Chains A and B, each alone.
Chain A
Amino acid sequence: MTEKDKEHLKIPKIENGIVIDHIPVGRALLVAQALGLDRAGQKGPVTLGFNFESGKLGRKDLIKVEHLELESQELEKIALLAPGSSVKRIIDFTVKDRLEIKTPDLVEGLLECHNPRCVTNREREVETRFRKVREKPLAMKCIYCERIFLESELTLR
């Protein structure tokens, strides 16, 4: 049995749906929650894998979801929470295509500002807005309090 076959025994292949691979370790649960995959009412099974071996990353997380389509806002969430991960669309057990994930230059209403004194955390009904200051490694700046947050510090609101 090849190493790849062994890997497939750990986490089953899916017939139709989405595979989010090469998620930085420790971020799969956040991504799953952000996409609402932890809630009841999914069309198909959702499998989460933590801490798998990866040639590229050393260790990685991954998510496989049957019968899922992703909208552009959801791809944006993945780009923010798990930059560098790859998103593949699976049809009939094979990779149909790869969806490009790219952090937009301006992210509105999605991220949380971790500065407790920031006006977005103090006033009611203020949407957060972050501007990208660097792509790799990802760094986003709150346009209100002007604090810069690094990749590992980003969470959704």
Chain B
Amino acid sequence: MEPLSFKGKDIISMNDMSLDEIRHVLSVAGDLEKKSREEMMAFAPSTILASLFFEPSTRTRLSFEAAMSGLGGRVIGFSSSEGSSAQKGESLWDTISTVDQYSDVIVLRHPDDGAARLAAEAAEKPVINAGDGSNQHPTQTLLDLYSIRKIRGSITGTSIGIVGDLKYGRTVHSLTSALSKFESVSMYFVSPESLRIPIHVERELKDGGVAYSEHERIEEIIEKVDILYMTRIQQERFPEPAEYEKVKEIYHLDAALLEKAPRHMKVLHPLPRVTEISRDVDGTGFAYYFRQAKNGVIVRQALLGLVIGVMQ
């Protein structure tokens, strides 16, 4: 088999990644955890990351910036399209073609679906998608997979409950599609009727022979899962405010509810949370979401190192 080569590669969509490639990224990230701060800083001392955030995303942006700084590199860029050349009417193609001259790798967050693919065509340097509209957010999925693997030792055989907005949630679709590449994963979907998983996702699960079931209450599944993946009900995605009001506080995970959970279970959340996880969960052994955010930095360091070509 040909060795996997990531140098110069764009990371645009989970749909482009094979199971072997996913496993390789997770394993490189795992190896990085054993390195000292000094060893990490030696990876990419003269590398420049262009961090282009055309819409705000504090978490993802800071995570990428922390990742690059931790590898010894530097970050240039902007954190909203306000005041940027895009507001003056410059095309995305031109912005990317220009920034491509200043940097070694480009990270892009953009409100339009497919913007990252277009950017990758414009740039010679590798482009990493940090979220393109409602389409893909591959680094979130990779850090979710990494967290599950870290918790359980393996993704194969995991029972996962996924709770909240399963209709509009980009992270949910991307995660289920990636998980279905692994063997013997069982999925329990928990959502109100109005936010059930879309038909195209269901079709994909059926085609892949994935075991799944749908529920309306966390109580129905909490005893059966290794991972409970909570998501926020996203107000901004609802066409009708009244529909949002009906379901906005439908799920509330607290320490009392977790008494029924298996001791080894962990709670994940892509963050930010609103009311779906009570603060009293933070102090329990079930909470993993802040650790998950930390894992995001390691996984992004692995991806940066691989596409720049300083890791194999």
User: CA–CA, A125 to B122, complex, Å?
Assistant: 13
A118 at the binding interface (Cβ < 8 Å): yes
Q: Is the interface of A mostly helix, strand, loop or mixed?
A: loop
Cβ-closest chain A residue relative to B119 = A119
- Closest CB pairs A-B (n = 5): A144-B114, A145-B113, A119-B114, A145-B114, A119-B112
Beta-carbon contacts under 8 Å, B85-128 to A: 91-93, 110-115, 117-118
Q: A142-B114, A144-B118 are in contact. Are A119 and B15 (CB under 8 A)?
A: no
Interface residues of A (CB under 8 A from B): 115, 117-120, 122-126, 142-148
CB of B135 closer than 8 Å to a CB of A: yes
Q: Chain A contacts of B134 at CB under 8 A?
A: 117
CB nearest to A128 among chain B residues: B114
Interchain nearest-CB distance for B109 vs A (Å): 13
A127 to B123, CA, bound (A): 17
Contact of B136 with A146 in the complex, beta carbons under 8 Å: yes
CA distance A118 to B110 in the complex (A): 11
**Given A123-B93, A125-B91, A146 contacting B135 (CB threshold 8 A):** yes
Q: How far is the CB of B8 from chain A (nearest CB, A)?
A: 19
CA distance A136 to B113 in the complex (A): 27
Chain B hits for A117, CB < 8 A: 111-113, 133-134
Q: Quick check: B115 and A119 within 8 Å, CB to CB?
A: yes
Per the bound structure, the CA–CA distance linking A120 and B91 in Å amounts to: 12
- In the assembly, what is the distance between CA of A123 and CA of B136, in Å? 18
Mark contacts of B188-212 with chain A using CB atoms, 8 A cut-off: 1 yes-contact digit, 0 otherwise: 0000000000001000000000000
Give 8 A-B contacts (CB < 8 Å), ordered by A residue. Answer: A117-B113, A119-B112, A123-B92, A125-B91, A144-B115, A145-B113, A146-B15, A146-B136
Q: Mark B35-61, 1 if CB is under 8 A from A, else 0.
A: 000000000000000000000000000
Contacts of A120 on B, CB cut-off 8 Å? Answer: 114
The count of chain B contact residues (Cβ–Cβ below 8 Å) is 19
Quick check: A145 and B200 within 8 Å, CB to CB? no
Residues of chain B contacted by A144 (CB below 8 angstroms): 113-115, 117-118
Chain B residues lying within 8 Å of A122, measured Cβ to Cβ, are 112
Q: Does B159 touch A at the CB level, under 8 Å?
A: no
Considering the chains assembled together, what is the distance between the CA atoms of A125 and B90 in angstroms?
A: 12
Contact A119 B200 (CB under 8 A): no
Tell me which residues across on chain B come within 8 A of A145, comparing CB atoms: 113-114, 133, 135
What residues of chain A lie closer than 8 Å to B115, measured between beta carbons?
119, 123, 144
CB distance from B54 to the nearest CB of A (A): 11
- The reply to whether B114 and A146 form a contact with Cβ atoms under 8 Å apart is yes
**B147 close to chain A: CB less than 8 A:** no
B92 touches A115 (CB 8 A): no
> How far apart are B195's CB and chain A's nearest CB, in angstroms?
20
**Closest beta carbon of chain A to B133's beta carbon, Å:** 5
Q: How far is the CB of A48 from chain B (nearest CB, A)?
A: 35
- Tell me if B13 is interfacial: C-beta within 8 Å of chain A: yes
Bound together, the chains give a CA A115 to CA B111 distance in angstroms of 13
